[in-house]
Amino acid sequence: MNAKPEAALLPLDVERIRADFPLLSRTVHGKPLIYFDNANTGQKPVSVIEAVDRHYRQHNANVARAVHTLGEEATASYEAARDAIARFVNAPSRDEVILTSGTTQAINLVAYSYALPCLKAGDAILTTVMEHHANIVPWQLVAERTGATVKAAPIDANGDLIVEKYIEMLTPEVKLACVAHVSNVLGTVNPVREIARECRKRGIPLLVDGSQAAPHRRIDVQALGCDFYAITGHKMLAPTGTGALWAKREHLMAMPPFFGGGEMIREVRFEGTVFADPPHRFEAGTPNIAGFAGVPAAIAYLEGIGFDRLKAYEQDLLAYATDAIESLPGVRIFGRAKEKEPVISFLLEGAHANDMATLLDLQGVAVRSGHHCAHPLMQFFGVPATLRASLAFYNTRAEVDGFIEAIGRVRKLLG
C-alpha cells in the first residue's frame, strides 16, 4: 500500500522545496529564520495550508450529521484523511485507524479503553527510560487505579535501548509493552520488529509511539508486527490537532469507548446504549475537521519526495551537523545511537540550555531547550535540560553553518 522505494536516489532540490514552506522565508529579530525545532512541530507546505483554507471557504460543515451537500463534502474529506493514514501506515483495514488529536490522545485511548479494563493488582506495563511523558504518565494513571505497576527498561550511555534487558523484563505479569519508535530527545531508532517478535512469543501486546518516526521513515504496521501504533500529524507537515491510532481489529472490537457523546453510538436509550463499531466508537463529538482536511496533502507531500530520498538527505545533514556541533569547545552531545534520526541534543560548558535558546532566538535560530517532556531521561543523564537541534529535509548545510556561527556569538555574549 505504501509507495515503492525510489529506483534512483536523485538529490533533493532543497531550494525548490523551501519555496513550498512560507514560514521558512520570514525573519526573526531582523535575522533570517533558522528553524531547528522540527521534533517539536514541523512547518507546513502551501498545499496543506491551501487544503485547510479550501475547507473553510468551500466545504465548512460538520461531519456525519447532515445529508446536505456541505455535510457530505466535509464527511468525505474527513474520511479521506482516514484512508490516507491507513495507506501511510499500511493498515490492513481503514476501520483499524482511529482519528485522534495526536499521539497523546491515542495513547490515552489505549490506556483507558484497553489497559484499564484488563489490569489488576500485580500486573505490570513495560516502557523505557527514553520515553516521552505521553508514553509514561497515562500508564501511571491507570496503574494507580488498578494496583498495577509501570516498569522501565534501561538504556546505555550512547542512548541505545538495552534490548536484551527489555526482553528479559517481558515477564508473565507484563500485560502491555510500550516503546518509542524514535526518541524525541536522542533520535534513537528502536528495533521495533525485534521487540514485537519477542512480545508475540509471550502473548504481550506492544504499543509503539511513532510520533517522531512518521516524519522521517516509511511506517508499515504489518511488517513491524506491533498491536498499536500512534502518530501525530503536526510533526509530519499536517495541521496541529491531528493524529491517529492504528490498532489490530481484535483489540478495537473488545475495547469499550473512552469518550462518550455524539456519533459514537448506534442507539441511545436510558436503559442502555448500543455503541457503533470501530473506528467511530472512539470518535465522539466534533473533530478537527479542517485540520484533517490537510492530512492527505501532508502525506502526499512526503510521499512525493520519497522516503528513501528524504532519509538519504536527512542522514547526510545529521552527519554534517553532528560534526559541526562536536567541533564546539566544551560540548557534550547526548545520544550516539547506532541508528538515529536527525535530532541532536547537547549542552555547552558554562551555559544553561534555556539561556542559550533565548539568546539564539535573538540570532534568528529556533531550537528547543528544556527537559523535552522526558524527565526520566534527563535524570538518567544527570542534567536538568538540554539544547535540541532537530532537523528536517527542508533544512540546509548553510543553516547549520549559520547555527554554529550564532552559537559563537552567543558564547561571546555570555562571556
Residues 6 or more apart from 50 whose CB is under 8 A from it?
297
Residues 6 or more apart from 272 whose CB is under 8 A from it?
none
Judge whether 178 counts as a catalytic residue: no
User: Looking at residue 115, what DSSP letter applies?
Assistant: I
124: enclosing H helix or E strand: strand 124-128
140: enclosing H helix or E strand: helix 137-146
Classify residue 67 by burial, with Cβ atoms within 10 Å: 0-12, 13-18, 19+: exposed
Dihedral angle sign, alpha carbons of residues 401, 357, 156, 162: negative
DSSP secondary structure of 34-87: EE-BTTT-----HHHHHHHHHIIIII---SSS--SHHHHHHHHHHHHHHHHHHH
Catalytic-labelled residue, pool 118, 178, 226, 373 = 373
343: enclosing H helix or E strand: strand 343-348
Among residues 116, 402, 97, the alpha carbon closest in space to that of 280 is found at 97
b/e per residue, 234-249, with b = 16+ CB within 10 A? bbbbbbbbbbbbbbbe
Residues annotated as catalytic are: 373
